[in-house]
Structure 1
Amino acid sequence: MSVRPRVYARPLLAAIATVAVLTGTAAAAPQASTASAASTPSTASAALDDTYYQDALGKTGPALESALHTIISDQTRLSYSQVWDALKDTDEDPTDSSKVILLYTGRSQAKSENGGDSDQWNREHVWAKSHGDFGTATGPGTDIHHLRPEDVSVNSTRGNKDFDNGGSQLGEAPGNYTDSDSFEPRDAVKGDVARMILYMAVRYEGDDSFSDLEPNESVDNGSAPYIGRLSVLKQWNQEDPPDSFEQRRNDVVFDRYQHNRNPFIDHPEWVEAIW
């Protein structure tokens, strides 16, 4: 696979001022440096540290992963049909409440244009459901921390490929690249993808009826319960820190639907602390 040099110039976006009130819209992004962004907790995470994350503080490695697994496993589970309405809320366009933002294309599309037809949007499993064979079963198959709206044909192009840099650009979704065994999302959501994948790895540890999901360094995982490449996902987490859209989404999932959080959005530095 050929690897293209990537240049990132995404501004570090303002942290959420509070976790007690949801505004329903994403804040405008200020112009600021991204240096060390993934090592700086948000104001929201500081408030959560006293409550939600208190049992994880001060830990690293397997101890931190185990603590976070216990914390985030306390959740409300949705049915696959309930996911449609949830995504219309979690991924709402902050400038137009009648639309959602599609993950890979970045297109704003009417909430009502969901389904299976060409150019409609459907439910993309960022951790491909065949990687662990969980399908659309209630649990990992319906966990909206990794389910996102996406164009039907772009979703199909991504398929169950692992994540990596390189490939040919998608004509239908400029900024996204793919080859025979991997998919590279646009720069603006690289970190989002990484944090969703790593959330799934911590949430689903094989202590229920589902597989133990783990990241690795491969891009040919097929139906095994693994997704790669971990080194690239870690790089994406550093270079594309959480923005206000991603932070608001985490709040909405927590407050209105599953009542659990993606800890790597609140504390992106925990990625390096575990892996």
Structure 2
Amino acid sequence: MRTPRRIPVILALGAVVGATCLAPAAAAAPADDYYQAALGKTGAELKTALHGIISTNTKLTYDEVWDGIKAADEDPADPANVILIYSGRSQAKTANGGDPDQWNREHVWAKSHGDFGTATGPGTDLHHLRAEDVSVNAERGNKDFDDGGSPVAEAPDSRTDEDSFEPRDAVKGDVARMVLYMAVRYDGTEGYPDLEPNDSVDNGSAPNIGRLSVLLAWNAQDPPDAAEQHRNQVIYDQFQHNRNPFIDHPEWAASIYG
């Protein structure tokens, strides 16, 4: 396995709540020019270039994902715990499993959307796998993302209805950037499904997830914070050795999908 180059976290963003785009990051690219092949490109050309950059990642097994999540989702205030994405609760790393009050591996891009399951690749990619309470994970199920619904019992800052799920405000942008990462990383090559966001909430087993317009708004409203940047760095340094470009350059979401 190659030794990854450490990339300093970058972000100095201007964002307007409710807007659909972000001001460009202050730095053009990380210091080691990880994104050099993508600079100056927009739209489909940018997406293609980013795919080429991030698709050289080390692939994990589904068992290895446990250790990856424990490191990437670690509670900075208590290294023995992880932060659950939709609930926001801090829970012991050792309390993982299948019981209702334990935490398990949430596929933010629901694994039935494209029917990739837990196979190595999209099913084991840490950039969209997060710690979450077993019951809340089941409540989200394979619903698309959208605004609205009633509070989730064990995650009252998140909401759900019969066909969609709305995460708490603090991670709305995180969810959007994870979904967009998956669409760029898994484009129908290497035997993987061609994942694409759309503006629907009834995608079923199709390789799509929505609602794209809402995800773009969440990306603008909730820019990457220190925790999300740290997570990106941990995955790059310790596990997959690739990055989520929408965390480093959230303005690229509008360039590709706006």
Is TM-score (shorter-chain normalized) higher than 0.5?
Answer: yes
* Secondary structure, counterpart of 1:39 in structure 2: coil
**1:91-116 deviations in Å (ceiling 9; x for gaps):** 00001100000000000000000000
| Cα distance in 1 between the residues matched to 2:162 and 2:8 | 44
User: Which sections of structure 1, spanning at least 5 residues, go unmatched?
Assistant: 1-18, 23-31
Contact 1:42 1:267 in 2 (8 A): no
Matched, 1:224 2:184: no
Give, as a single letter, the amino acid of the residue that structure 1 aligns with 2:59.
Answer: R
Change (3 A) 1:46 1:82: same
Whole-angstrom distance in 2 between the partners of 1:172 and 1:110: 17
Gaps of 5+ in 2: 1-5
Aligned to 1:46: 29
**Backbone CA RMSD of aligned residues:** 1.7
Shift in alpha-carbon separation, 1:33–1:174, aligned structure 2, 3 A:
farther
Are 1:186 and 2:177 an aligned pair? no
Aligned to 1:100: 82
Note if contact 2:29-2:36 (Cα within 8 Å) is conserved in structure 1: no
Question: Cα distance 1:33–1:212, how it changes in 2: closer, same or farther (>3 A)?
Answer: closer
Query: Quick check: 2:145–2:210 contact (8 Å CA) kept in 1?
Result: yes
State the secondary structure of the residue aligned to 2:157.
coil
CA contact (8 A) 1:124 1:150 kept: yes
1:262 to 239, 244, 258: 244
**Matched ranges for 1:57-136 at <5 A:** 57-136=39-118
- Structure 2: which amino acid aligns with 1:263? P
> How far apart in 2 are the matches of 1:252 and 1:167?
34
Secondary structure of 1:103 counterpart: coil
Letter in 2 for 1:214: E
- Note if contact 2:7-2:233 (Cα within 8 Å) is conserved in structure 1: no
Give the 3 Å change call, closer, same or farther, for CA 33–61 of structure 1 in structure 2: closer
Per-residue displacement from partner, 1:185-215 (whole Å, max 9, x unpaired)? 0000000000000000000000111110000
Does 1:151 pair with 2:133?
yes
Q: Residue 198 of structure 1: SS of its match in structure 2?
A: helix
Number of equivalent positions: 246
Q: 1:21-32 to 2 correspondence within 5 Å?
A: none
Q: Distance in 2 between matches of 1:218 and 1:129?
A: 17
- Following TM superposition, the consecutive aligned residue runs of length 4 or more in structure 1 with deviations greater than 2 angstroms are 19-22, 32-40, 45-48
Q: Distance in 2 between matches of 1:42 and 1:208?
A: 35
Q: Which amino acid letter does the alignment assign opposite residue 133 of structure 2?
A: D
SS at structure 2 position matched to 1:65: helix
